[in-house]
Every structure is written in structure tokens, then in C-alpha cells.
Amino acid sequence: MAVRIDGKAVAATVRAGVAEEVAALKEKGIFPGLAVVIVGDDPASRTYVNNKKKACAETGIYSEEYALPASTTQEELLRLVETLNQKKDIHGILVQSPLPDGLDEEAVVEAISPQKDVDAFHPENVGRIMIGNFHFLPCTPAGVMELLRSQNIEVAGKRCVVIGRSNIVGKPMAMLLLHQNGTVTICHSKTQNLAEICRSADILVAAVGKPKFVTADMVKPGAVVIDVGMDRDENGKLCGDVDYANVEPKVGYITPVPGGVGPMTIAMLLKNTITAAKLQNGWQYEA
């Protein structure tokens, strides 16, 4: 029987801390502000954006939404990003992904001022993470690290396996575990002996995007299993990358889907927005 890591509860604690810090910043005349840009009408993106705005309102962060039609051109989107880069009351800029076909997401991310890049997707911020001299951490991997910290799970010296090598989760996740002195392996679709490598993991992070991909025979007894997946099972029900029902009895810690990593992502975005507000007001970042 595993400890079920309650992401909702941990996220609530982070958000309470954010609310306190926002109140303290306001006393100093600093009003953290986030701009959220959504292009087109992808329903999942709409839900994410609504949740982000709601979380800002609940913690006292000022937010602005820019909802653009799917017909928006690259030039129009870049012009908006440039306007937001210059806007003094906006400290963080988030362009919700995916963008409609025809828009160059990479160019848009590169146009965001690195000091306002609260997703930490800009190449400058990615590079900073690589060398360990960063202002922002990408929200989902940072949320995973916070979940591990919440349970006092030591990473140093542990064998960590990350399944998935995306730029927004897998790669930065591996780097953050490495920063904490984990011994890290990244697995992907071309990996041979995947199950065997996963079985060696003390800490297993699944970020593949395939429902119930991690089965009970792929985990070490007592392991820590973190599920970043947001998938749908054969009945259309929300589930993760881990076959929770069969894996849970075997491992030491596990995150549920929903209610695990998901709630952490927005909590870390709020933290990054505060960091951005501080940075733009001449404060050094405290790790």
C-alpha cells in the first residue's frame, strides 16, 4: 500500500504561500501581473487558461487575457508579444500551447522577454536551467520536485528514470533531478529494455502521454512513482501514464491522476510570476 501524494493539498500550501507573498509585495508597491495569451478555440486550452486566471485571482495576482482568433497571423501574434514585453504592469507572459496550425510556436517563445518567460520555455531560460543558474523553472517539472520535497523524499544518490523526452517535461525533469544529485536515465520511444530500466528506478517519472503505459511489472517494489500523464482510458475516462490500480499496491509513493502533478503546475506558474515581478523590480532571485 503506497503513500498517495496529494497534489491538491501540496498545491494549496504553495498557493497560500504565494498569496502571502503577493500581499507583502503589494505593501512595497509591487503588483505582480500575468498576461495569458490564447489563440484559437481548443477546448482543453480554454480550460487551462480559465484555471490559470482563476488561480491568479485567488492569490491576488493581476491577470489579463488576450484571446485571439485562430486566423491570427504570426506578425500579429509577435506584435502582441512585443507590446506585452514593454507593458510595465505585466511581469509574466504565457502563450498557451498548442498554437493553431500555421503559427510558429518556437518563434513566439523566442520573442518573449526572458525575464517575463514564466513558462521557462525561452532558449535563454532553458540554457540557464542546464547550467543551474536559473530564474524560472518550467512549471510541471518544478511541481514534481515540490511533490518530492513535500514527502521528504531524498533524490541524492537515487536512481531516477524519466520516461519521455519532451522539451517541456522530460528533458527539464531529468535536469532538475540531476541538480539534486540523482543518477538519471531518460527513456523514450527508441529505448531498448524499457521495462528493465524502469524496474531499476527508485524514482520513476512517467511523462509519455500513453494511458496506463507503466504496468506493475515495470516498477521496483517500494519505488516512488510520479505520473505526469493526462490521458483518456478506453472508456474516455481521465487517467495517467501509470496503471494506478495495479502499480499502487507495489510501490512506496504514487501520485494519482487527477489530483497529483496537475494541480502543481498552476501553483508553480504563480510562483514564477512572483519571481518575474521581483526580477523586474531589481530583486535577486532567491532559490
Q: Which residues form the interface with ligand GUN (CB under 6 A)?
A: 94-97, 119, 139, 265
| Beta carbon nearer to ligand GUN, 197 or 206 | 206
Distance of closest approach, residue 169 Cβ to ligand GUN, in angstroms = 9
Cβ-based neighbour number of residue 202 at 10 Å:
19
Residue 20 is classified by DSSP as H
| 250 is a catalytic site residue | no
Distance of closest approach, residue 121 Cβ to ligand GUN, in angstroms = 7
Reduce the DSSP state of residue 92 to 3 states and report it: strand
| Beta carbon nearer to ligand GUN, 140 or 255 | 140
Identified catalytic residue from 116, 117, 119, 180: 119
Distance of closest approach, residue 265 Cβ to ligand GUN, in angstroms = 6
- Bridge partners of 38, per DSSP, are 67
- For 119, phi and psi rounded to 5 degrees? -85, -20
Alpha carbon distances (Å) from 121 to 15, 29, 150, 240: 22, 29, 25, 24
| Beta carbon nearer to ligand GUN, 97 or 246 | 97
Which secondary-structure segment (H or E) carries 96? none
| Beta carbon nearer to ligand GUN, 32 or 252 | 32
**Please, are residues 201 and 177 in contact by the beta-carbon 8 Å criterion?**
no
Region for residue 111 given its phi and psi (left: phi exceeds 0; alpha: psi -120 to 50; beta: otherwise) = alpha
Distance of closest approach, residue 7 Cβ to ligand GUN, in angstroms = 15
| 233 is a catalytic site residue | no
Q: CA 116 to CA 136: how far, in whole Å? A: 9
| Beta carbon nearer to ligand GUN, 95 or 198 | 95
Query: What residue has cell string 520513476?
Result: 204
* Closest-approach residue to ligand GUN (CB): 97
| 53 is a catalytic site residue | no
- Bridge partners of 117, per DSSP, are 93
Query: What residue has cell string 495569451?
Result: 37
3-state helix, strand, coil in the chain (%, to 5): 45, 15, 40
Identified catalytic residue from 96, 115, 180, 280: 96
Distance of closest approach, residue 140 Cβ to ligand GUN, in angstroms = 6
**Catalytic residue list:** 52, 96, 119
